[in-house]
Amino acid sequence: MVCKTIYIGSNPIETSNFPLSINPLLITLNFVNLKVKFFKPIVFLLSTVLISFIAKPDISNFSKVSTTTYSEQIASILYANCTGCHHTGGIAPMSLMNYQEAYNNRNIVQGAVLSGDMPPWPPDTNYSRFRHERILSAQEISLIDNWVNTGASQGDSTVAPPAPNYNLTNSDLGQPDLTLSAPVYTSNAFIDDDYVCFTIPSQLIANKKIRAVEVSPGNLGIVHHCLVYIDPTGNSSIGITNNCMGPSNGVLVGEFAPGSLPITYPGDNNMAFGMEFPANSNVILAMHYPYGSLGMIDSTKVHFYFYPDQLNLFREITIEPIIQDFGFCVPPNQTKTVNASYQFPISSPPLSMFGVFPHMHLIGKTINTYGLSLSGDTTKFVNVPNWDFEWQGAYHFRKMKKISPGTTIKASAYYDNTSANLHNPNTPPQTICAGFNTTDEMFVIYYLYTPYMTGDENLNLDSLTQSGLTTIRNQNKISLNIFPNPINQLFTVQSDWRFKDIAKIELYNINGQLIFYENYSSNDLKPFKKSFDVSKISSIKKSNVYLLRIYNKQSEVQYAKLITN
């Protein structure tokens, strides 16, 4: 990409070549929207006052237990879906880490889940499904509603699950393989936002393969966005570059925005997905500090986790803004639909679509994208029916989607520049055109893909365990044991999850094929422990390695390898 400088007013702003190779995600979140976030609890409180006027989910098929308690039902739901943000030091306005905190905020929680505001998950799950979805089932919503309506009792505290441990000072993923720190920086954002790039030498002496990237802001109150790039040439100037919205020769490998999680790729010793980190590369942190943060100090860190140097098969992910349109305007008091498309050449090789990252600004309302093959087959990528500027990110498919040569990528976005749009940055409405400022608009969709291999569309990405490859720890420090292991005929699976919390158990061969599963529904409060007979699992062969996965009812997963003699 070629770097160029554009001017907004008298201020030079460095960006990549416009419009074909721009980095449109560099301007994503600003202090205007930060202030909106502070008002969300008020919205939730209003929703509880007006709860009788809100269309509730259809939960009639789920019978309410006679007494729903925090310890037996609610704590596990909050820990799995809410406390990642709602903990002391988190980005959310209140903590929900214990019974007293949940009780004190019970009406806010009830209103938020009944209205669908929380947990935030913009994609339409009837259109496409993704890994790590933040959604509540109708039964979970019913339990929360019933708990509040019946007095929000604590119940027997001895049966409550242990609270997750959120690391406020170090990495949530465990000991990183490489940590790079930006210099201590004082924000210059007074009237305008402050965009600055920190270029840091990696000092790597050998090529590495990235399996996870985690951004750790030094000051959560003012870091509204950070994009992590690698300059594989190592030629970029070390130090601080002001009025910088990203490098001209960088490869995007990570990002941070409020509510986002560390980027982790699936992989095991047989097949691993990720990105290359060449030796002697520089790392560039493209920071966005919102206006109003003048004089505040930050020093953000980025943690890298690597695969072992020797892997049987490493598959690199490419991230590109295949869809983008910077030639539209929306007049005041009008709405507008913008369409875009891109056709892959017929001579191009087939691809496997790994994920998608849609992006708009404040007056965006809906965005949709899909693929249309030459034979007329439609491949759905993502549909966001109610765009929320504060909650956006990269969505990874549960199974990759094959993109045949000649496929056309189609996308559509809808914008509402009327006074009825509560997110409109202008009162009264003014003409808004595509541009770089948050109060401008964008229509950009990043696509994550890799060259196609036979069987990709059937590969369950979650079946690729990451245990044993690096020191990434399970945040809740939960153990899963198989004994004896290696096994001959009988073996026992033991977890410190309670039997009542277990949803299912699955067994995969080394090709990622599911060969055995069992579903569970139990009220037993004891830790899960169950024995199995190899002779009754016909697909198990001698002298092979298998992956055993156990799911709880919050869709969390434990992994363990099973070896047969």
Q: Are 498 and 510 in contact (CB under 8 A)?
A: no
Higher-pLDDT residue of 535 and 144 is 144
What one-character DSSP code corresponds to residue 9? T
Which of 10-24, 320-334, 473-487 is least confident?
10-24
Which of 31-45, 52-66, 514-528, 540-554 is least confident?
31-45
Reply yes or no on whether the pLDDT at 516 is more than 80. yes
Reply yes or no on whether the pLDDT at 9 is more than 70. no
- Summarised one tens digit per residue, pLDDT across range 344-361 is 999 999 999 999 989 898
Average pLDDT over residues 274-300: 92
Average pLDDT over residues 518-539: 88
Distance CA 283, CA 201 (A): 6
Mean predicted lDDT score pLDDT of the chain: 81
Specify the pLDDT at position 39: 32
**70 Cβ contact list (under 8 Å, min separation 6):** 99, 102, 103, 147, 152, 153, 154, 155, 160
Specify the pLDDT at position 25: 38
Which of 7-11, 146-150, 177-181, 386-390 is least confident?
7-11
Residue carrying structure tokens 């073996």: 491
Specify the pLDDT at position 175: 84
Reply yes or no on whether the pLDDT at 41 is more than 70. no
Specify the pLDDT at position 246: 82
Higher-pLDDT residue of 39 and 182 is 182
Distance CA 37, CA 31 (A): 10
Confidence of residue 488 (pLDDT cuts 50, 70, 90): confident
Reply yes or no on whether the pLDDT at 61 is more than 80. no
Confidence of residue 565 (pLDDT cuts 50, 70, 90): confident
Reply yes or no on whether the pLDDT at 131 is more than 60. yes
Instruction: Tell whether omega for the bond before 331 is within 30 degrees of 0, i.e. cis.
Output: no
Specify the pLDDT at position 475: 37
**pLDDT-above-90 percentage for the chain:** 45
Specify the pLDDT at position 416: 98
Residue carrying structure tokens 């190779």: 21
Residue carrying structure tokens 């609610």: 74
Angle at CA of residue 164, ends 162 and 167, nearest 5°: 145
Average pLDDT over residues 477-506: 81
- Amino acid code (one letter) for 348: S
Specify the pLDDT at position 299: 95
The 10 Å Cβ neighbour count of residue 511 is 12
Higher-pLDDT residue of 71 and 40 is 71
Specify the pLDDT at position 510: 64
Reply yes or no on whether the pLDDT at 561 is more than 80. no
Specify the pLDDT at position 132: 80
The 10 Å Cβ neighbour count of residue 277 is 23
Specify the pLDDT at position 474: 38
Alpha helices by DSSP H, 3-39: 31-38
Specify the pLDDT at position 222: 84
- Summarised one tens digit per residue, pLDDT across range 211-238 is 999 998 888 778 878 889 999 999 999 9
The 10 Å Cβ neighbour count of residue 494 is 17
Q: Which of 513, 561, 507 is nearest to 534 (CA)?
A: 507
Distance CA 18, CA 3 (A): 9
Specify the pLDDT at position 223: 86
Specify the pLDDT at position 307: 92
**pLDDT-above-70 percentage for the chain:** 82
